[in-house]
Chains A and B, each alone.
Chain A
């Protein structure tokens, strides 16, 4: 019996490994998802503090450009009217209405960046011609924050011997001065207009960009300030400013903070052109937060495209040929066997007691929706409140089916109450827990109550801890994105799961828990009581 079982299990493992190896080596499947090189999901959040009844919020929306394409835009205007208007080279989003105090505008979108070829700036470009001067009048004019006609600017150019006759050389000199001689700060030390920064020889990202533009404009180079964020893998984005200089028929990026001239030192999302504030409001105070996440899902899209064009049998049989909705379902479903494997290991090899057989896995699945912390918190809250309710219910001595139905109703009301509470406190993450399997919760409460009564609080506590331990471990398996990708790409890995289950199923040795239970036999006797 056992050798044959080992042979079957071995055959399962070998065929799984063979298929996986073939798909990786010959068909070029990726075992682990690679982060998409060029896609991010970005969110701009604008929390509002009202100062009057009506408010009026305008903020810049990033626009398509040579380096980026914006798509999948979604806006939550907090109950205000929302519309999009062009303003100069930018797009702005306007929200008008009566939001509640503390409301937040959120604007989400995806961005796909396009790398620009790095061209050298020509060696020499002559002084600006009158036609060009007329055409780019706006990019050459002096403004209250970019005082290009100020004496300070002229004196500085004179001192540095920067001549408008070779504008390519002037651009390099100005850039070198800004990077090397003007100290970079966080921009909070003083006024950030061009003249103040040039006089203090220190400034933040916005101030240095304004100063650079003032100098460039003074030597006849049309230029402008650009605002954007550095794209990182995940987390909040800090708004940075840089400069675009128009020479030789195109805009060249100029970064006054780092050493880059003609290209940017890292990938950036361009939010808007100009040196104005990101948000303008009437009747409210607005914050401004940008956060982003590099998209990883693209591997799925790449495979799906490839599978739909392929004639190969294994490609056709792959789960990527399913409709997208079914794929989303199966990505999760295919992890459930791993969860069941976790349960088998805990129950049969370690000997951890749990409520029900698959209850821990159902709990792990619901943790997946809510996140582990909220999940644990809500589970504890609901079960505690529900158990308390059941305790009171015990005195009413109801029959089983009405009692369970009563408990079910109670659980749903408790969850609804907690959801309303979560909404008020702004715990948006918690709200998804509404899908928490309500029947499972009801049965957990019922079993917990019976366990406490019949087996004593100590044993019931063991059951609770065992269930939580298995649920958390199961969650760790089920919520693993890398594993999810792997299992979805190589579902044949479940042959290995089956092989392991066969082996665990025939394991007749001791469980780890029996190490403690039968300690008398390990030690040659028990301790005397008292």
Chain B
């Protein structure tokens, strides 16, 4: 089985190995609610001084809907989302008001009754992971950083960092496209660009399992982009481990034009596509970190460690592509 050996020698982490070797060993089940509930996660962040988008209000029950206009008062733009939603599902982005009505990011106008109905759907568990009742949160709408203007379409890009035992091991930025409907969702067609941990520069980019160099909608180059505030992003990612106690997490950070990096959410079962985005397997860096007792290390030492264990730096030039691949 040559393919099997090829994947193994590239250090690709498969789903079975991720679940058995990392998630089940380093992520105790009892800690999952800390990250699955975004409201709990947010208040935890506040305690640990990690910046997050400002929370305007929480709709706990259908009765609270009467006070909705109170929550929304004074906010032109905001985001409504379920506390326990998965993969960015159930997120409603309001980009402005027109009289009594609210304008969605897509330009569609909603009246207050429709917004209430939407929230009521969230409360009854429409988007929640297990279909149980949920809470709806209303929060600050993140402003796209000017750096990302030329390389995203629609929504806000987000940065995913895989953190193992408090050490960032692999990172990527997800760039929304027209194909992904402006969402940073990879399997709908967003671009995934791998980021070199040491420099914060994008080195390799993929859309739907194809290599890309330019954003298909804007034409902006997606390689060689240096992410601003990179070290702060790494710090936020590494701190998320201390804050939750989870050993293997995916940390999602957004870059706000005004407030800089904000932690958006944490994922206790992060996906594996980040390996394709970086053209680099997770297994080798994970194994290196596994051998080190990181509990004795300070935050700075762990960031330092992250710089050191990253794989040999790929050339900042576009990654070598094979024009025609046979077999």
Give the Cβ gap from B252 to chain A, nearest Cβ, in Å: 18
- B21 nearest CB neighbor, chain A only: A508
Q: Which residues of A contact B17 (CB under 8 A)?
A: 508-510
Q: Which residues of B contact A517 (CB under 8 A)?
A: 272, 276
Give the Cβ gap from A403 to chain B, nearest Cβ, in Å: 9
| In the bound complex, CA of A162 to CA of B85 (Å) | 98
Task: Select one of B12, B117, B187, B216 contacting A518, CB under 8 A.
Answer: B12
Are A529 and B125 within 8 A (Cβ)?
Answer: no
The answer to whether the Cβ of B121 comes within 8 Å of any Cβ in the partner chain is yes
The answer to whether the Cβ of B211 comes within 8 Å of any Cβ in the partner chain is yes
The answer to whether the Cβ of A520 comes within 8 Å of any Cβ in the partner chain is yes
Segment with Cβ contacts to A, from B1-9, B48-56, B142-150, B195-203: B1-9
Are B322 and A514 within 8 A (Cβ)?
Answer: no
The answer to whether the Cβ of A525 comes within 8 Å of any Cβ in the partner chain is yes
If A527-B322, A528-B211 touch, whether A399 touches B120 (CB-CB below 8 Å) is: yes
Interface centre among B12, B206, B275 (most CB of A within 10 A): B12
The answer to whether the Cβ of A4 comes within 8 Å of any Cβ in the partner chain is no
| In the bound complex, CA of A67 to CA of B319 (Å) | 85
Are B212 and A510 within 8 A (Cβ)?
Answer: no
A226-258 vs B, Cβ < 8 Å mask (1 yes, 0 no): 000000000000000000000000000000000
The answer to whether the Cβ of B32 comes within 8 Å of any Cβ in the partner chain is no
If A456-B188, A510-B7, A510-B14 touch, whether A529 touches B121 (CB-CB below 8 Å) is: no
Q: Which residues of B contact A511 (CB under 8 A)?
A: 14-16
A478-511 vs B, Cβ < 8 Å mask (1 yes, 0 no): 0000000000000000000000000000111111
Are A523 and B322 within 8 A (Cβ)?
Answer: yes
| In the bound complex, CA of A510 to CA of B3 (Å) | 10
| In the bound complex, CA of A514 to CA of B211 (Å) | 18
Are A526 and B4 within 8 A (Cβ)?
Answer: no
| In the bound complex, CA of A454 to CA of B187 (Å) | 10
If A454-B87, A509-B4 touch, whether A526 touches B14 (CB-CB below 8 Å) is: no
The answer to whether the Cβ of A522 comes within 8 Å of any Cβ in the partner chain is yes
- A402 nearest CB neighbor, chain B only: B124
Q: Which residues of B contact A528 (CB under 8 A)?
A: 210-213, 321, 323
- A515 nearest CB neighbor, chain B only: B3
Are A519 and B209 within 8 A (Cβ)?
Answer: yes
| In the bound complex, CA of A348 to CA of B272 (Å) | 16
| In the bound complex, CA of A431 to CA of B20 (Å) | 45
Are B319 and A525 within 8 A (Cβ)?
Answer: yes
Are A527 and B323 within 8 A (Cβ)?
Answer: yes
The answer to whether the Cβ of B313 comes within 8 Å of any Cβ in the partner chain is no
Give the Cβ gap from A432 to chain B, nearest Cβ, in Å: 31
Q: Which residues of A contact B4 (CB under 8 A)?
A: 509-510, 515
The answer to whether the Cβ of A401 comes within 8 Å of any Cβ in the partner chain is yes
The answer to whether the Cβ of B207 comes within 8 Å of any Cβ in the partner chain is yes
Count, chain A residues at interface, CB 8 A: 32
If A509-B16, A525-B322 touch, whether A520 touches B117 (CB-CB below 8 Å) is: no
If A511-B14, A518-B12 touch, whether A529 touches B211 (CB-CB below 8 Å) is: yes
Task: Select one of A455, A508, A522 contacting B6, CB under 8 A.
Answer: A522
Q: Which residues of B contact A456 (CB under 8 A)?
A: 187-188
| In the bound complex, CA of A518 to CA of B6 (Å) | 10
Q: Which residues of B contact A521 (CB under 8 A)?
A: 6-7, 10, 12, 275, 279, 281
The answer to whether the Cβ of A120 comes within 8 Å of any Cβ in the partner chain is no
Q: Which residues of B contact A509 (CB under 8 A)?
A: 4, 14, 16-17
Interface centre among A348, A401, A455, A521 (most CB of B within 10 A): A521
Q: Which residues of A contact B3 (CB under 8 A)?
A: 515, 522
B13-56 vs A, Cβ < 8 Å mask (1 yes, 0 no): 01111001100000000000000000000000000000000000
Give the Cβ gap from A400 to chain B, nearest Cβ, in Å: 4
If A454-B87, A529-B216 touch, whether A520 touches B209 (CB-CB below 8 Å) is: yes
The answer to whether the Cβ of A134 comes within 8 Å of any Cβ in the partner chain is no
A344-355 vs B, Cβ < 8 Å mask (1 yes, 0 no): 000010010000
Give the Cβ gap from B87 to chain A, nearest Cβ, in Å: 7
- A456 nearest CB neighbor, chain B only: B188
The answer to whether the Cβ of A28 comes within 8 Å of any Cβ in the partner chain is no
The answer to whether the Cβ of A397 comes within 8 Å of any Cβ in the partner chain is yes
| In the bound complex, CA of A10 to CA of B246 (Å) | 35
Docked complex: B105-150 residues within 8 A CB-CB of A: 117, 120-121, 124-126, 131
Q: Which residues of B contact A399 (CB under 8 A)?
A: 120-121, 124
Give the Cβ gap from B68 to chain A, nearest Cβ, in Å: 17
Are B323 and A401 within 8 A (Cβ)?
Answer: no
Task: Select one of A401, A507, A520 contacting B276, CB under 8 A.
Answer: A520
| In the bound complex, CA of A523 to CA of B6 (Å) | 9
- B189 nearest CB neighbor, chain A only: A456
Give the Cβ gap from A282 to chain B, nearest Cβ, in Å: 64
Are A525 and B279 within 8 A (Cβ)?
Answer: yes
A415-438 vs B, Cβ < 8 Å mask (1 yes, 0 no): 000000000000000000000000
Docked complex: A258-278 residues within 8 A CB-CB of B: none
Task: Select one of A401, A507, A515 contacting B124, CB under 8 A.
Answer: A401
Q: Which residues of B contact A400 (CB under 8 A)?
A: 121, 124-126, 131
The answer to whether the Cβ of A122 comes within 8 Å of any Cβ in the partner chain is no
Q: Which residues of A contact B187 (CB under 8 A)?
A: 455-456, 459
Q: Which residues of A contact B7 (CB under 8 A)?
A: 510, 514-515, 518, 521-522
The answer to whether the Cβ of B89 comes within 8 Å of any Cβ in the partner chain is yes
- B206 nearest CB neighbor, chain A only: A526
Give the Cβ gap from B118 to chain A, nearest Cβ, in Å: 9
If A454-B87, A508-B21, A510-B7 touch, whether A529 touches B322 (CB-CB below 8 Å) is: no
Q: Which residues of B contact A519 (CB under 8 A)?
A: 209
Are B209 and A526 within 8 A (Cβ)?
Answer: yes
| In the bound complex, CA of A477 to CA of B325 (Å) | 39
Are A518 and B275 within 8 A (Cβ)?
Answer: yes
The answer to whether the Cβ of B74 comes within 8 Å of any Cβ in the partner chain is no
Q: Which residues of A contact B207 (CB under 8 A)?
A: 529
The answer to whether the Cβ of A524 comes within 8 Å of any Cβ in the partner chain is yes
The answer to whether the Cβ of B312 comes within 8 Å of any Cβ in the partner chain is no
Give the Cβ gap from A520 to chain B, nearest Cβ, in Å: 6
**27 A-B contacts, Cβ less than 8 Å apart?**
A399-B121, A399-B124, A400-B125, A400-B126, A401-B124, A455-B187, A455-B188, A459-B187, A506-B20, A508-B14, A508-B16, A509-B14, A510-B8, A510-B16, A515-B4, A517-B276, A519-B209, A520-B209, A520-B279, A521-B7, A521-B12, A521-B279, A522-B6, A526-B210, A526-B322, A527-B323, A529-B216
Q: Which residues of B contact A (CB under 8 A)?
A: 3-4, 6-8, 10, 12, 14-17, 20-21, 87, 89, 117, 120-121, 124-126, 131, 187-188, 206-213, 216, 272, 275-276, 279, 281, 319-325
The 7 closest A-B pairs by CB, nearest first: A529-B210, A521-B10, A508-B17, A510-B14, A526-B211, A400-B124, A399-B124
Q: A527-B325, A529-B208 are in contact. List 17 more A-B contacts (CB 8 A).
A: A401-B124, A455-B188, A511-B14, A514-B14, A515-B4, A518-B12, A518-B275, A520-B209, A522-B6, A525-B319, A525-B322, A525-B325, A526-B206, A526-B210, A527-B321, A528-B212, A528-B321
